[in-house]
Chain A
């Protein structure tokens, strides 16, 4: 059996096992665990999308919250049952042009993603000429513009009142499939010639251009693909919560994903997945610090709401100090490494210059 065949087989087995786990979570676990697992996967999708521009093309763009808002709002506007709409749009009646348009969730997700990509194209054309901090500021600004437009277009988006009664999606299996598809598509993209062009741009723009890579085309393409998946992720996020409002998508939301990709490793697909799980599940796990704790009959005053954020920050500082490139760096989890590790588990720790995962 060749290595390639073995790896493919292992991947298929892993997917089947993971799907089995998703199925188990859906059927056996309580709603709380289901929700956390769902949120982990949705954050993984958005983290992956952000990693395309920030990790692989090396463009520091902070517009994710805006693109998520587009996706979430398309889902919010079009999946609410027509009969419930007058109740939701009680302040400003819904625009008659769209009041009878209903889409199932799957269609709305794709439309939301495409719309986000379109907006990314419009924004990207002028903005991607900028670099570094300037690009970050410009994209941040555009994400706020998207949010403010949503706030003010009340006959379409219900303005600040937000949209409620989105049919809830709390099926782990569906979200797992969405995450899997995103993962496969982005992996294929990164391993294609486009992906290599992206990485070349990240390493050195001038050298890449000298090699005949069209900088602008590739940057714009990456920005659009990133927005597309952010839109899908945002749509799932809206459907998971069952309600969206503009304040969900403040620019601070973007930092959440920045944290995920920095922690997981800029430029690592598996790193982003890992980062999403650590940040989301970790924050929930640390909730014990928010609860009052009694040791030997004495209440410890530190244990009060908000303390978990302190602990989380301390843990993060440790991570960033000792894994400067994030947990995975630019490395990926591969079956070859995994098999090697299984064969010689000790060599991994003793060998000089081995990578810490």
Chain B
């Protein structure tokens, strides 16, 4: 009994300590929040399944904040919140940023489902949010307060279909990661666009996230002999898929989406992924705007490495908010929202940015390949303005 009481007392003191820490944290925060700062919420998955992507985008946002720390004489304070790659947490944290931290604008998230969970909250609170790499069209649909820095699945799918057709492909097979919203969306719009161009989709095969063996799918596809195989999906599964296809003697070119742009994709795929093609938001060689040069130089200095598309999108999301606050002021979220919607000809890292009526940017895509173990730029597809 005595032991139990002792530990109960310990537990109570632990809780008390936590309380103290809580007071300390919030005290410091309220001390810093005055008329001289404007708060920008950063809403990203920093733990959980999507942590890698969230971390990359956070780097981009932090870099932008370092280069552009002030607006209209006010300091911009980033309030970073982790949504744990979980929808319920994402909704909580979005509400917390708005109600507790009183942010004027929210940046994020990586992962469309997380952004969708926050959708209703930003809409009700009338605080604009700028998605970094949530490409599902539903994120901004029927939501005047959600924008995004990246292009959307329909555009990316269409771009790849046009590219495939231009390369002379007539018969295409699609292998999609059916449990991934991104892959399903891309495959659907690729199919629509490709058939409209007069091409033929001869096979649509599905696999699940985490699958390791694709022999059954591939044997079936090999018999039908397509010119190109469009296989949007997670990078690990895609790399394995391509490797196994080459082992089976399938010669057709593989095409995919921007998830492939990670070092792991090349590491897993090795020689077999050479010559593939995928669309991306950003390329170092193609990045011609002044902002892009500034971004790349600063990135190399800050993080000692080469920036990726996710870094660039994080940076751009911040810049869209920055530009809008310059025009719409920093006090009223609704005015910031209107200013974001009115963005015109803003030169960013990933190209010129303007929004359509849904809040999706009209932005071009680059097409890249893998050559000698490195990502290489091959083409640029602009959007019709």
Contacts and interface: CB of A to CB of B under 8 A. Distances in A.
A241 B7 contact: no
A35 B184 contact: no
A305 B142 CA distance: 32
B117 A243 contact: yes
A160 B8 contact: no
A243 B116 contact: yes
B24 A295 contact: yes
Contact of B22 (A33, A84, A288): A288
Contact of B21 (A90, A154, A288): A288
Nearest to B90: A241
A161 B189 CA distance: 13
A87 interface: yes
B121 interface: yes
B99 A32 contact: yes
A160 B178 contact: yes
A165 B4 CA distance: 50
Contacts, number: 147
A318 B7 contact: yes
A286 interface: yes
A237 B88 contact: yes
B28 A294 contact: yes
A241 B24 contact: no
Contacts of B11: 315, 318-319, 322
Contacts of A311: 18
Contacts of A100: none
Nearest to A287: B96
B330 interface: no
Contacts of A151: 178-179, 208
A321 B125 CA distance: 43
Contact of A31 (B14, B98, B141, B208): B98
Interface string A141-165: 0000000100110100001111011
B39 to A, nearest CB: 13
Nearest to B28: A294
A41 to B, nearest CB: 13
B142 A165 contact: yes
B47 A241 contact: no
A246 B180 CA distance: 9
Contact-residue bracket for chain B: 35 or more
A168 B136 CA distance: 20
B7 A32 contact: no
Interface stretch (B79-87, B166-174, B306-314): B79-87
Given A33-B99, A161-B136, A248-B87, A243 B113 contact: yes
A39 interface: yes
Contacts of A243: 87, 113, 116-117, 119
Interface in A91-114: 91-92
B19 to A, nearest CB: 9
B116 A87 contact: no
Given A162-B113, A162-B181, A164-B119, A322 B18 contact: no
Contact of A32 (B25, B28, B98, B208): B98
Contacts of A87: 138, 141-142
A91 B185 contact: yes
B75 interface: no
A162 B179 CA distance: 10
A33 B178 CA distance: 36
B66 interface: no
A145 B342 CA distance: 47
Contacts of A319: 11
Contacts of B26: 288
A226 to B, nearest CB: 21
B42 to A, nearest CB: 10
A349 B96 CA distance: 39
A288 B100 CA distance: 12
A268 B179 CA distance: 37
B92 A32 contact: yes
Nearest to A246: B179
A291 B29 contact: yes
A168 B185 CA distance: 25
Interface in B175-227: 178-181, 183-185, 188, 206, 208
B298 interface: no
Contacts of B98: 31-32
A291 B100 CA distance: 13
Residue picked from B22, B24, B113, B142, most chain A C-beta under 10 Å: B113
Interface in A274-304: 284-291, 293-295
A309 B188 CA distance: 38
A247 interface: yes
Contacts of A91: 184-185, 188
B370 interface: no
Interface in A242-281: 242-243, 245-248
14 contacts: A30-B100, A31-B121, A35-B92, A90-B138, A151-B208, A152-B178, A159-B181, A159-B184, A162-B113, A243-B117, A284-B92, A305-B47, A315-B15, A318-B10
Given A162-B113, A287-B81, A291-B29, 8 more contacts: A31-B121, A159-B184, A160-B178, A160-B183, A243-B113, A288-B21, A291-B80, A322-B11
Pairs A-B, 3 closest by C-beta atoms:
A305-B82, A32-B99, A305-B46
Interface of A: 30-33, 35-36, 39, 84, 87-88, 90-92, 148, 151-152, 154, 159-162, 164-165, 168, 237, 240-243, 245-248, 284-291, 293-295, 305-306, 309, 311, 315, 318-319, 321-322, 349, 352-353, 356
